[in-house]
Amino acid sequence: MYSRRQFLRTSASASLAMPFINTGAFAQDQWPSKEIRTICMFPPGSGADILVRFYAKKLEDVMGGKRVLVENRAGAFGALAAQFVANSKPDGYTIFIAPGSSVLAAAPHVFKSLTYDPINNFDHITTIAKLPFILCVPSDKPWKTVAELTAYLKEQGDKASYGSLANPGLVGAELYKAHFGLKTVEVKYKDTAPCFNDLIAGNLAFAHIDPAAGQAWMNSGKVRPLCVTAAQRTKALPDIPGAHEAGIMNSDIQAWWSVHAPKGLPTPIFEQLEKYFNQIAIDPETTAFLAKVGTDPYPGNSKMVLDLLKADIKNWGDYVKLAKIEPV
């Protein structure tokens, strides 16, 4: 049986006309021979964690029960998790299931410096889902529309505050503020629960939250959704107005989730992961699960996700400038 090093050394001299025959057989025979780690950028119990654990379990299922572990590496709006993946061995045992739009695409614009390249330090496998963020207020407050909330915030000036948890929420809030000339002060949170607790307690006027984390709070009646950050209503959240309908004409943000790996993944493993995750994306169980957390399926392929990433790096540059966000 070949070791991976022996195989790579042997295959280097093989004919370029038949590049995948032996590598495919090798990869399928040897991978996965141990558990796969999928890195989650947020803490356990967060919206991101809920989604990552669902896809990890589905990956186990399509691989016939091979173990897929979720490892939480929270902090710095996903930069710590991205850095860890970029530095990991490209052997198919470390993958990154993440909101690529708000982590990899936004990173060059929200950080003064990066220790990884969002495009060239990763293999970009496919898209899997997309979702807007939701502008929510405490349910015991009188504001039923964005217009009513805006009138209150204009009166309060910098005495009112909002909570931010992730890049789409931060940009959504700052675009909202910029559109109406608001001075509402940002309060940063690392975890979902403290932000929700402060929102419900009335310490925050509003927060932009992801549907996966916020669905239970909305269903309980403790927070009230006013609009989504996408320009129009979404399929998974048909009862919540789009940003343009609510009067926030400069907002059209939907976070897309995707799968990535350290750069240099063996081609057969890359192709197998792409196949697995697109099989998962169109599974009826996936569609049903995503609908419950306000998210739409978004199957794709490696070319699509790379093109999308390149386009959104430019888009996020525009968002950050428009919202006048200072890099950290």
Does some domain include residue 45? yes
Q: Do the domain assignments include residue 43?
A: yes
pLDDT tens digits, one per residue of 249-306: 999 998 899 999 999 999 999 999 999 999 999 999 999 999 988 899 999 999 999 9
Whether 255 contacts 210, CB under 8 Å: yes
Per-residue pLDDT tens for 84-108? 999 999 999 999 999 998 889 988 9
Q: Are 234 and 211 in contact (CB under 8 A)?
A: no
Is position 44 within any domain?
yes
Amino acid 4: pLDDT: 36
In a shared domain, residues 36 and 108: yes
95 and 180 together in one domain: no
Token pair, residue 130, equals 């997309």
pLDDT of the residue at 77: 78
- Identify whether 162 is part of a domain: yes
- For residues 74 and 99, state if they share a domain: yes
- What distance separates the 2 farthest-apart alpha carbons in the chain? 73
Would residue 315 count as lying in a domain? Answer: yes
In a domain, residue 236? The reply is no
* Rounded CA separation 251/235 (Å): 18
- Are 127 and 50 within one domain? yes
- Contacts of range 110-117, beta carbons closer than 8 Å, 24 or more positions apart: 110/77, 110/167, 110/170, 110/316, 110/320, 110/325, 110/327, 110/328, 111/76, 111/79, 111/327, 111/328, 112/327, 112/328, 114/79, 115/83, 116/82, 116/83, 116/86, 116/87, 117/86
Residue that is last in its domain, among 209, 228, 247:
228
Rg (CA), the chain: 21
- Check whether 16 has a pLDDT greater than 70: no
Q: What is the number of domains present in the chain?
A: 2
Residue at 96 is within a domain: yes
The verdict on 113 and 150 lying in the same domain is: no
Distance (Å, whole) CA 31 – CA 271: 12
CA distances to 93, 187, 215, 300 from 69, in Å = 10, 32, 25, 24
How far lies 148's CA from each of 163, 189, 226, in Å? 19, 25, 10
Asked if the model's pLDDT at residue 24 lies above 50, the reply is: no
| pLDDT > 70 in the chain, percent | 91
* Tokens 């009112």, located at residue: 160
Give the tens place of pLDDT for each residue, 198-209: 999 999 999 999
Distance, CA of 44 to CA of 72 (rounded, Å):
7
Domain that residue 264 falls in: 31-132+255-323
At 193 the pLDDT is: 86
For residue 130, the cross-strand partners are 256, 296
Q: What is the pLDDT of residue 29?
A: 58
Q: What percent of the chain has pLDDT over 90?
A: 67
Of 11-20, 165-174, 196-205, 313-322, which gets the smallest average pLDDT? 11-20
pLDDT digits (tens, 9 = 90+) for 153-187: 999 999 999 999 877 888 899 999 999 999 999 99
Element (H or E) spanning 197, and its range? helix 192-201
- Domain shared by 168 and 201, yes or no: yes
Shared domain for 55 and 74, answered yes or no, is yes
**Bond from prior residue into 241 cis (ω within 30 degrees of 0):** no
Whether residues 111 and 151 share a domain: the answer is no
User: What is the model's pLDDT at position 23?
Assistant: 42
pTM of the model: 0.78
